[in-house]
Amino acid sequence: MTKSALQIARAAYQPKLPKALKGAVKVQEGAPTQSVADQEAIKALFPNTYGMPMIQFVEGEATAFPAINVGVILSGGQAPGGHNVISGLFDGIKALNKDSRLFGFILGPGGLVDHNYKELTSDIIDEYRNTGGFDIIGSGRTKLEKEDQFEKGLEIIKELGIKALVIIGGDDSNTNACVLAEYYAAKKCGVQVIGCPKTIDGDLKNEMIETSFGFDTACKVYSEVIGNIQRDCNSSRKYWHFIKLMGRSASHIALECALQTQPNICIVSEEVEAKNMSLDDVVTYIAQAVANRAAQGNNFGTVLIPEGLIEFIPAMKKLIAELNDLLAEGSEFAMIKKSAQREWVISKLSQENAAIYASLPEGVARQLTLDRDPHGNVQVSLIETEKLLSDMVAVKLAQWKEEGKFVGKFAAQHHFFGYEGRCAAPSNYDADYCYALGYTASMLIANGKTGYMSSVRNTTAPAEEWIAGGVPITMMMNMERRHGEMKPVIQKALVKLDGAPFKAFAAKRDEWAIETAYVYPGPIQYFGPTEVCDQPTKTLALEQGK
Ligand code: FBP
């Protein structure tokens, strides 16, 4: 494979490790834990993995470890740093015993069920160190939740002599990792399951998991491009750029990018929901900012829109919930001719939802009826919210123009940033964090743990001072309604409106809305001074009072 000079230099980068992981470790156990909510229900569902203590690794004395075989799975959407989790895991099990072996299951959890795997040897691992992407083994969204899947997995686990499985995924995948850990523990199969917190969306975090990996790099890539657009927009002064950013549910990415680039407008879905805003309220808010800038002669600007917005507008949320039932498996919708689908949907919805659905532009209405993902979620990345909002803003401004309330011009450009950031080469932060997460997973395995998520904390300090350990996954769970049933799931971390990142944004947004206060962060730097290369996200720094 031909490589660029940067790729060659980057391959040689040695990720930093917390001090405690640099030699032999020992386990320091904390107090027993309990789930964030619904303790009795979670305890009953996870009798073998509930209540385990928090774990921290401290320096210990070298002991001999037998060689172990480990399996690894990448689950869900790509996130920068996945390859470093795997290389950290590989180096960790090799440090314990050089004869340890690592097997990667191909294309996500489905690889375990279908017995599709490959051994990850040192020459393969070396090809992928510090690179973006999940292509070393591929990823997939198969949901591991049924007993027959667990049993099929067990067959190959036994055949390969695998002692532990590491599942690298988001909240849903780690929930499933915990269910699997419980199942194997209950059956006394002798197979451990460890999770690793992944997702660019940044919504798998809590007191013990500071951030999910990939969030840092993805936000830096998007912020670079938003900055470039802002410079373009400030140069030609003729467009409003509507920029949708990934983040299926939470608005962390949009908020972080706003903190990095200071756009004119950033919509935060969690606020829209809390204020019970309608679609028209959101449109009016944007149109007013456009009109205010136009009054100063500035017919240009930037609007950041979180991908999940549509589901947070209370009226739209109700509509989507009814659509989900209507389009559930086996519904007659699939049999209806494409041209008649809209009318069919309108005829089946409740009066209130039918009126909202009928008012939506054709494209968005169709996008809302597309297939759900395997977890039953609307695929919000396919909904062109940025176009929907700019079209509606244009209509409102035209109306205001007639009424003499708008004197400027309005021309829009649309962008969606998501896939371009998910496989970027990891920033130093993600390269180090991921490598440490993988290495920590190997130590959890060596110490016989199961049902734990690898945890690396204190990451706004130098890597030497990072704290590595494990968090029982049951500790992060609560009961939520999914597909009409109450299920144990890891609680999703949405943007907190009383949290420091949102407050920092809210304190400045009125100023950014009227002024041209753009910041142009530039590309991620991998080599150079620490203040340029090793900064965490603003979200994390603010959350940690830095
Ligand atoms: P994960 O939660 O699996 O990490 O994926 C998040 C995400 O990147 C979302 O931001 C986006 O909506 C979704 O994946 C897109 O999924 P797909 O890759 O299946 O199109």
In ligand 1, the atom with minimum distance to the C-alpha of 422 is 8
What is the spatial distance between Cα 231 and Cα 347, in angstroms, rounded to a whole number?
47
Tokens 């007639």 -> residue: 402
Strand, coil or helix: 400: helix
More confident residue, 144 or 460: 460
Distance 133 CA to ligand 1 centre (A): 13
Domains of the chain with bracketed CATH: 16-214+426-490 (3.40.50.450), 218-306+384-419+496-533+541-546 (3.40.50.460), 308-383 (1.10.10.480)
Question: Ligand 1 in contact with 199 (CB < 6 A)?
Answer: yes
**Structure confidence by residue, pLDDT tens digits, 49-94:** 999 999 999 999 888 899 999 999 999 999 999 999 999 999 999 9
The average confidence (pLDDT) of the chain is: 94
Among 289, 199, 292, 297, residue whose Cα is nearest residue 253: 199
For residues 125 and 93, the answer to whether their CB atoms sit within 8 Å is no
Task: Tell me if 81 CB under 6 Å of ligand 1.
Answer: no
Cβ of 143 below 6 Å from ligand 1: no
| Separation of alpha carbons 84 and 426, rounded Å | 9
> What is the residue type of 493?
A
71, β-bridge pairs: 103, 165
* Tokens matching residue 50: 């509930």
Q: Is the shortest distance between the CB of 171 and ligand 1 below 6 Å?
A: no
Over residues 200-228, the pLDDT tens digits come to 999 999 989 999 999 999 999 999 999 99
Quick check: is 114 catalytic? no
Q: What is the pLDDT of residue 330?
A: 59
Higher pLDDT, 84 or 348: 84
Per-residue pLDDT for 531 more than 90? Answer: yes
Mean pLDDT of 245-268: 97
Closest CA to 455 of 472, 474, 477: 472
Q: Side chain identity at 77, as an amino acid letter? A: G
Q: Which of 91, 172, 201, 391 is catalytic?
A: 201
Does the beta carbon of 380 lie inside 6 Å of ligand 1?
A: yes
Mutate to test the pocket of ligand 1, among 168, 246, 377, 430 (most ligand atoms within 8 A of CB): 246
Q: Is the pLDDT of residue 110 over 90?
A: yes
pLDDT digit string (tens) for 319-342?
988 888 888 765 678 788 888 889
DSSP 118-147: EE--HHHHHHHTT--SSTTT--B-----SH
What pLDDT score was predicted for residue 375? 64
Average pLDDT for 16-41: 94
Neighbours of 414 (CB within 10 A): 17
Q: Cβ–Cβ contacts within 10 Å for residue 388, how many?
A: 23
Q: Is residue 528 left, alpha or beta, with left meaning phi > 0 and alpha meaning psi from -120 to 50?
A: left
Helices 147-159/171-186 angle, 10° precision: 70
The reported pLDDT for the residue numbered 325 is 81
Q: DSSP code of 86?
A: H
Per-residue pLDDT for 27 more than 80?
yes
Contact indicator for 434, 84 with CB cutoff of 8 Å: yes
List helix spans (H) across 484-529. Answer: 500-514
| Six-digit token string for 329 | 């498996």
Q: Which residues pair with 461 in a beta bridge?
A: none
Q: What value does the mean pLDDT take over residues 399-425?
A: 96
Alpha carbon of 76 to ligand 1 centroid (Å): 7
- 247 pLDDT more than 90: yes
Burial class of 455 by CB neighbour count within 10 A (0 to 12, 13 to 18, 19+) = buried
Span 1-16, average pLDDT:
93
